[in-house]
Chain A
């Protein structure tokens, strides 16, 4: 069987402080298969961003191992291969844009990888088309909306043809329209371009669209499963400082009143249908 595209073994990470070292990741064992769409949830300080930064060797483990397509991320000789395999998108679009023209920004990555110019042209065009920004390729990024800037940042990563993209709260600074644009783009990459996606987020409704949800708390994985298995666990989510989707919360509240309703109403439609069935009984 093929290696998982991402794998951690007893991964620990800690910062030295004046007193005892501060443990951020505390023994994380995780395997992500190629082609998956995985959401990672957790409160601020749960370790989810630190975990993300281990996925392309921005950080190296204090203990344990991280493998990208079977390559140990601590192997400095293979750093370029690791970074080519896993691309990273961060929270603030303004911090990730380096050029004055959209397509030049997008070409920054492949240029640095030493890709021949005509291939860069093809890769940049393909990447901008994939995120729906090709028509704005000669625009100035700073005049675009947050959602558009974030899609350029994603295109910049795609132009390096990674097999996996890790996005660390890419929608946190965006308005609802921007959030929708970015999430649609991410889903399309996963389905159409077969890119493995790891999405770090606070938004339950975004995580609900992934195939697999991982919940982190205090540097550990506390739950791992399909959205339909994870979100009905209302008490568990609350205990780690997260809130279930509002539709699930309504079902939970009504069940407390003794009503027979399913807890896994993840979409508006499922929630409305379940209530309709109850009311027309």
Chain B
């Protein structure tokens, strides 16, 4: 994947909040971030690490204090047209997006983005229906007020509103916060469907290491406004003690297997999902039987 050109990248991106005041704070320092076409990327970092500041730069919501942001090779601050284009190519779903619904019907809410893109009515209609289908909303819901729906359904409407712009990169900040395991599974599989169908890049922020371990191709760790670690989940979770120091920790299965290893069992300590853990135990038993 590394030989591909990044679809979104930052070059020495720095952002300082409230410069010149006593509240001056450097949220990002010389960050080189890359996301590649078609990948499912996870971003982890504790509250205040700078990860939200980073993603808000990726579609031009924040302007760098210094450094550049490139979307499909184009500097998004080069011209007004480039900034506008970046907002359409990179879709951002905030935390608790259901609080941002505002229209009378779900249909109108989902169509807000594509309408702003200047698409004709037939294309807007196609996109609204397709986006609704991606997030598993039945047609009957489209004429209802979003405020009559359950929390989980509202969140789907909000995500559909961004999907309807058909972004090449879809960024979601904690899309599953506050949902039960079934709700988590549904939303993540909806996102996965969009990822597959449009070959879109997906960037997900989550606090759940277990969720990240299960789903992403690659992980980027943000800490103190920098990126100290990135790589496959296996590579990143191998740095258990460093992650602990950053207030992040590792998936539960990794913790159990580190402990098992410390007890003296000969097992691969780099497992991070239940399926891998099961495999590792069965392997160890087989080896023992074979000796």
Q: Could you tell me which A residues sit within 8 Å of B by CB distance?
A: 42-45, 91, 145-146, 169, 172-173, 175-178, 202, 241-243, 245-247, 249-250, 253-254, 257, 259, 268-269, 271-273, 275-276, 278-280
Contacts and interface: CB of A to CB of B under 8 A. Distances in A.
B182 interface: yes
Contacts of B264: 276, 280
A222 to B, nearest CB: 14
A202 B180 contact: yes
Given A176-B249, A246-B274, A276 B282 contact: no
Nearest to B251: A246
B252 A247 contact: yes
B207 interface: yes
Contacts of A177: 46-47, 247
Q: Tell which of B46, B180, B182, B266 has the most Cβ of chain A within 10 Å.
A: B180
Given A250-B256, A279-B266, 9 more contacts: A44-B180, A44-B183, A176-B207, A178-B47, A202-B180, A241-B182, A272-B263, A275-B265, A280-B265
Contact of B288 (A250, A275, A279): A279
B151 A44 contact: yes
B183 A250 contact: no
Interface in B92-114: 96
B122 to A, nearest CB: 33
Interface string B190-214: 0000000000000000010010000
Interface string B201-235: 00000010010000000000000000000000000
Contacts of A44: 150-152, 179-180, 182-183
B260 A43 contact: no
Nearest to A261: B281
Q: Which has the most chain A C-beta neighbours within 10 Å: B150, B264, B285?
A: B285
Contacts, number: 102
Contact of A246 (B150, B210, B259, B265): B210
B19 interface: no
B247 A271 contact: no
B117 interface: no
Closest 8 interchain pairs by CB? A272-B259, A243-B181, A241-B182, A43-B180, A172-B178, A272-B260, A276-B263, A246-B252
B255 interface: yes
Given A44-B152, A176-B248, A276-B264, A268 B256 contact: yes
A254 B285 CA distance: 12
Interface residues on B, range: 35 or more
17 contacts: A43-B180, A145-B48, A175-B207, A175-B247, A176-B247, A202-B178, A202-B181, A246-B253, A250-B274, A254-B278, A257-B278, A272-B257, A273-B263, A275-B281, A276-B263, A278-B285, A279-B284
A247 B210 CA distance: 12
B244 to A, nearest CB: 10
Contacts of A175: 46-47, 207, 247
Nearest to B249: A176
A276 B47 contact: no
Given A169-B178, A246-B210, A280-B265, A268 B47 contact: no
Given A45-B150, A253-B274, A279-B267, A268 B46 contact: no
B180 A247 contact: no
Contacts of B182: 43-44, 241
A145 B263 CA distance: 37
Contacts of A169: 178
Contact of B260 (A45, A249, A253, A275): A275
B177 A172 contact: yes
B265 A268 contact: no
Given A241-B180, A246-B274, A250-B253, A176 B260 contact: no
A242 B288 CA distance: 36
A242 B180 contact: yes
Nearest to A243: B181
A45 B260 CA distance: 39
B55 interface: no
A270 B288 CA distance: 22
